[in-house]
Amino acid sequence: MSRIKLATAWLSGCSGCHMGILNLHGGLMELFQLCDLVYSPLADFKEYPAEVDIALIEGAISNRDNLEMARIIRRYTKKVVSLGDCAINGNVAALRNPGGKAAVLEAAYADPVNKPVVFGECVPPLFDKVLPLHQVIPVDAFIPGCPPEPEAIRVALHRVIERL
Amino acid sequence: MPRLSLTINGRAVKARQGETILGAARERGIFIPTLCNLDGLKPLGGCRICLVEVRGHPRPVPACATKVEEGMVVTTDSERVVSMRRMVVELLLAERNHQCPVCVMNNNCELQAVARLLGIDHVRYDFIAPRAVLDISHERFGIDHNRCILCRRCVRVCDEIEGAHTWDVNGRGAASRIISDLAEPWGLSGTCTDCGKCVQACPTGALFAKGTETTGKGTICLEKLVAWRQRREP
Ligand code: SF4
Ligand code: SF4
Ligand code: FES
């Protein structure tokens, strides 16, 4: 079998799930005997490559950038895996959902005199509701946990590799 | 008391008249998951986690609230009931705001345990994300409606065991809320005896004792949480 092309992505999450990957410790050596990392916030890749076997995605869909990234990943990836609770159910990122977008902007940015917040073009617009990954693209496997246990990541990855 | 003969998952089982399917199954070590059921309280048959098939019945029945009958043929693990149980738990998770990592009951929660048992690794339904409030007006306890699954264990334990009947259910369907007395702050209740039975009976993080707000991931500041949940729409 040729080497597996592995990607990881960081959407609206805290990076804790990526810490979970790093916490594989010795398991990382085992993993990289089978896989090449072709895209990840853990290394400096600019573009998502055209052919990826497995993508581990951390974080929920909170803004337009997250959505675009999720769609790109889906288009170029054989098996997309939701990594961690934020990707799976919104989790901490979705704590703001009962109040919607306005409430979160106000809580985070409004100054005491209540001036309206104006963002430049470069800030991706927030969605009113934070969504789990599988509600915007089809997802092939789920690794729950906040953050997922390294052992769960290891076992799940091996199962996904078997199903490639 | 007369003994009845029935079959559960193909095994011959003897049960006392008046016993529930759940009780008869448990006695034989046959496990059926439950949520709204609590030993010592009258069965409610509300959550439908314990659905089982009974031959001759078109629809599955709740094992906790169905009495055994002579010659009954019960199946507790058919594909249909297992998928229904899964669906029920997913709907419960989608109905309120269940963010386990920041919940007082994380890792001690019966809802979480049932979800884990049924292998639920994601929810197929849209999350409703209702605006639900917290009431921490009681000196020692609090209720977070974001975590309530309306199992009514609190209502029943308060009524049947403590005899105070502080709790009730207000509203219909997904808009139902547990209320204290006539929808007053719990701390102002004239009937509550501060016994804490409801807190013990609650299967989720909805009812909690103050001072246990540590989730292992840091301490929740209750006052700030309440202010955030109860804030006015901007
Ligand atoms: S009540 Fe249970 S299922 Fe709901 S958030 Fe708390 S731990 Fe999770
Ligand atoms: S507060 Fe707890 S015990 Fe009462 S109905 Fe809600 S989940 Fe059940
Ligand atoms: S446990 Fe039987 S219906 Fe809830």
Radius of gyration of chain A (CA): 17
Look up the domain containing B158 and give its range. 87-232
pLDDT at B204 over 70: yes
More confident residue, B178 or A103: B178
Minimal Cα distance from B216: which residue of A?
A146
Taking the CA of residue B147 as reference, the ligand 2 atom at the shortest distance is 7
Please report, for the domain that includes residue B109, its CATH number. Answer: 3.30.70.20
For the segment B29-44, the average pLDDT, to the nearest whole number, is 96
Tokens representing residue B3 in the block = 């003994």
Contacts of B132 in chain A (CB under 8 A): 98
Q: Provide the 3-class DSSP secondary structure of residue B156.
A: helix
Tokens 């529930």, located at residue: B20
Q: In what order do the strands lie in the sheet with B73-75?
A: B11-16, B3-8, B73-75, B51-54, B61-62
The residue whose CA has the least distance to atom 2 of ligand 2 is B202
For the segment B63-85, the average pLDDT, to the nearest whole number, is 97
Number of domains chain B is built from: 1
| Tens-digit pLDDT profile for residues A81-132 | 999 999 999 999 999 999 888 888 877 777 655 666 677 778 888 999 999 9
Give domain status of residue B127, yes or no: yes
Q: Which of residues 21-40 of B touch A (CB under 8 A)?
A: none
CB A80 within 8 A of CB A107: no
Give domain status of residue B207, yes or no: yes
| Tens-digit pLDDT profile for residues A36-89 | 999 999 998 999 999 999 999 999 999 999 999 999 999 999 999 999 999 999
Ligand 2 cavity residues, CB under 6 Å: B 143, 148-154, 178, 201-204, 206-207
Minimal Cα distance from A114: which residue of B?
B234
Tokens representing residue A26 in the block = 């010795």
Which segments of chain A are extended strands (E)?
A: 4-10, 35-39, 52-58, 61-63, 77-83, 126-131, 141-143
Instruction: Quote the pLDDT of residue A115.
Output: 67
- Distances from the Cα of B125 to the Cα of A132, B40, B94, B128, B201, angstroms: 10, 34, 7, 9, 28
B50 lines ligand 3 (CB under 6 A): yes
Tokens 């597996």, located at residue: A4
Give domain status of residue B33, yes or no: no
Q: Lowest mean pLDDT: which of B31-40, B132-141, B150-159?
A: B132-141
| Tens-digit pLDDT profile for residues B163-176 | 999 999 999 998 99
Give domain status of residue B111, yes or no: yes
Give domain status of residue B75, yes or no: no
Minimal Cα distance from A103: which residue of B?
B234
Give domain status of residue B17, yes or no: no
* Phi and psi torsions of B127, nearest 5°: -75, 130
Give domain status of residue B210, yes or no: yes
d(CA A15, CA A150): 14
Taking the CA of residue B202 as reference, the ligand 2 atom at the shortest distance is 3
Instruction: Quote the pLDDT of residue B217.
Output: 43
B112 lines ligand 1 (CB under 6 A): yes
Q: Provide the 3-class DSSP secondary structure of residue B9.
A: coil
CB B101 within 8 A of CB A146: yes
The mean of the pLDDT values for chain B is 92
Give domain status of residue B74, yes or no: no
- C-alpha count within 13 angstroms, C-beta hemisphere, residue A101: 11
CB B90 within 8 A of CB B125: yes
pLDDT at B1 over 80: no
CB B195 within 8 A of CB B141: no
Closest CA to B131 of A110, A93, A133, A95: A95
Count helices and strands in chain B by DSSP H and E runs: 6, 10
